[in-house]
Structures are given as C-alpha cells and as structure tokens.
Structure 1
Amino acid sequence: MAGFYLSKRSKDNLQGVHPDLVRVVERAIQLTKVDFVVTEGLRSLARQRQLKDAGASKTLRSRHITGHAVDLAAIVGKDIRWDWPLYPQLAAAMKQAARELGVPLEWGGDWKSFKDGPHFQLPFAEYPG
C-alpha cells in the first residue's frame, strides 16, 4: 500500500460536505491503490449553473449544492489524470469505505447516461435535502 493521505486542498474542498461523505473519503484515501485529490465538494448554485452551461453537468439539482457530493481526481506521480481506467479503481476504494462505514453511496460512473467517473454522492432517498 502506498500510504496516501488527504492534501490540504482536499481537506479544504471537504468543508461544508456532509460528515458521512467526509468519513467515506477519509477512509477511501487509506484504501485506494490510486492517489486522489478532492477537486470539488460543496458548490454554489452560480457555480453549478456555470458547469451546466458549459455542458459539464446536466442538472441544477446537483448534490454538490447541498454538500452531498464530491468530485475526485486521480493523481499519478504528481499529475492529475482523467484516464477512465483510473476511476473504477477510485470507485472501488470509495465503495469499500462506504460499505465498511455503513454509508450508502452512488458513483457517477455507474450511471446509464452521462457517466461521471470523478463524481460520488449520497443518495437522495437516504439523504434528502
């Protein structure tokens, strides 16, 4: 195991995120085989609108707005990488962490359309609002 840890950037980007999701991210960094950074957590409606207008999101009902979602980016060496094969590996660590902690979790990479590999969220059903 490589012994990864959350960077200051990741910790800063977890501010305002639901504590259950923060716990999952904190455990996942201990489990992952691929290092990662939290690129976004809590997001303003203005930022969400900007992403939707740019085509990077399909909704204004994002779980980011309520602090129920995070985006992770894989790190290889010192570089952020967006290669798809890295994201199922991050998802495996996140899903294992969620199972261990008893926290339900959805991965954007499992969505049928508009697959979003960096995106993880707490489900609406269990975490409304």
Structure 2
Amino acid sequence: MLTIDELKSKSADRIGGLHSVLLAAANVLIQRCYARGISIVITQGMRTIAEQNALYAQGRTKKGSIVTNAKGGSSYHNYGLAMDFALLLPDGQNVSWDMNRDGNGDKLADWQEVVQEAKKLGLEWGGDWTSFKDYSHLQMAFGLTIAQLKEGQRPTAQQVKETLSRITGGEPEVNKDVEVTINLNGIKLTVGVLDNGTTYVPVRALAEALGAKVSYDPVSKTVNVVTV
C-alpha cells in the first residue's frame, strides 16, 4: 500500500497550477479519503484555453465522444478553480472511474465517499448538475460566474482566508518534516511522521500487516480494527 506522501506525489504534477484554495482542498481531500481506505488521484487541474478548446472539439470537429460543453475560457478549470479525480486501484498504477466500486469494503461506494468528503470541504460536484453531469468534476466557484471570471474578477482575499480556514479546520497541520520509517519485525512496512512526540502511522497499513481487518463507519466516523 502506498504511503500518503507517495499517493500525493501522483497528483502533484496536475495540481500545481490550481488556485491556492483548490490546491489545499486537493491535498486535504486525498488525505481524508486515504484515512477512509480510499486512494484517489487528481487527473486534471488547471487547464489552458488551448487545452479546453481541444477538448471541446472532441466529438465535434475531432473524433471521439463529446466530453464538455465548455469552450476555452468557459470552464472553471481555466481559472484554476476546478479539478477532476479518479480512484487509484490497489496496484498503485491504474485508475478507475467505476462509481460502484467498494474497495474499502464498507458497503458504501468509494466514489460517493469521495464526493461526501469533497462537499465537506465546500467543493461543488459535477454529478449534481441538472444537465451534462460530470461525475469526476469538483470545483469551487466562490460565487463567481464564468462571465465574471472572464471580466477579470477573482475570489477576494477574505473569501480565500475564510475558505482556507474551513478546509484546514483552522488548526495547524501535522508537521511532516520529520519522517520516520516504520519497521515490522525488522522489515520496512511503511512511513510515518513524528510531530511533537507523537508518531502518526497509516492505520490500515499497520493493522493489516498484523493480520487485522480495518473498516470505517462514516456515520459515527469510527475506524474499526478487528483482529482475526
């Protein structure tokens, strides 16, 4: 199983151009889903006008299926305010858009669990749109329309501050500078972090290595570890 840092590295190249709030949201979303036993990758972040026009042409003037109704400049992706995600499969390489997959075995579709966590962060989901649903799409518009963004309007400093506070919980993040190796019987198992005398370790990696089963109850927000 990948460590959280290894998982985040798979999305790093695609989230670099995002607005600072979306960048924070992407990292927190990846981390929260990981805690629920779900690995996700961000497949698309900032998109240039040219890239948007190329996508718009697909299924119209180019071969393929129509994937967007937005021309260049008419997508929140073009302003760094949107991102797309997919589920990362256990091999750590391939991704899935299977919305019914239950990889963590908690009897809830992984996709919907990701959406739940995204909405908690204030992100809008393309699956809620009334027309041309985009199930992998997440965005944060800050109340701005595409027309306003085209005119040059952007989120205010106060909006950015308040939203970042909500995403981070208003609390300092765990200091990840002190990385520690977790060995099991002398063999490296995973990587954790040491912060102010407390060692943080991925519970699933440790528990399953010890022969236990891990599940998550989203209602009570409880991680259950059952020894076999």
**CA-atom RMSD in angstroms:** 2.1
**Gap regions ≥5 residues in structure 1:** 99-103
Counterpart position of 1:24? 25
Higher relative contact order (CA 8 A, sep 6+): 1
Provide the C-alpha distance between the structure 2 equivalents of 1:87 and 1:52, rounded to a whole number of angstroms.
Answer: 26
Provide the C-alpha distance between the structure 2 equivalents of 1:113 and 1:124, rounded to a whole number of angstroms.
Answer: 21
Instruction: Give the structure with higher Rg (CA).
Output: 2
**Gap regions ≥5 residues in structure 2:** 59-65, 101-109, 150-228
Whether contact under 8 Å (1:3, 1:30) holds in the other structure is no
Counterpart position of 1:101? none
Does residue 71 of structure 1 match 2:84? yes
Identity fraction in percent: 31
**Deviation (angstroms), 1:114:** 1.4
Provide the C-alpha distance between the structure 2 equivalents of 1:50 and 1:90, rounded to a whole number of angstroms.
Answer: 28
Matching residue's letter, 2:47: R
- Map 1:28-43 → 2, pairs under 5 A: 28-32=29-33, 33=36, 34-43=38-47
- Map 1:1-129 → 2, pairs under 5 A: 4-5=4-5, 6-32=7-33, 33=36, 34-54=38-58, 55-60=66-71, 61-78=74-91, 79-85=94-100, 86-96=110-120, 98=121, 104-123=122-141, 125-126=143-144, 129=149
TM-score by length of 2: 0.49
Matching residue's letter, 1:80: V
Structure number having the greater strand percentage = 2
Provide the C-alpha distance between the structure 2 equivalents of 1:36 and 1:12, rounded to a whole number of angstroms.
Answer: 14
Q: How many residues align?
A: 122
Provide the C-alpha distance between the structure 2 equivalents of 1:43 and 1:19, rounded to a whole number of angstroms.
Answer: 15
**Deviation (angstroms), 1:123:** 1.7
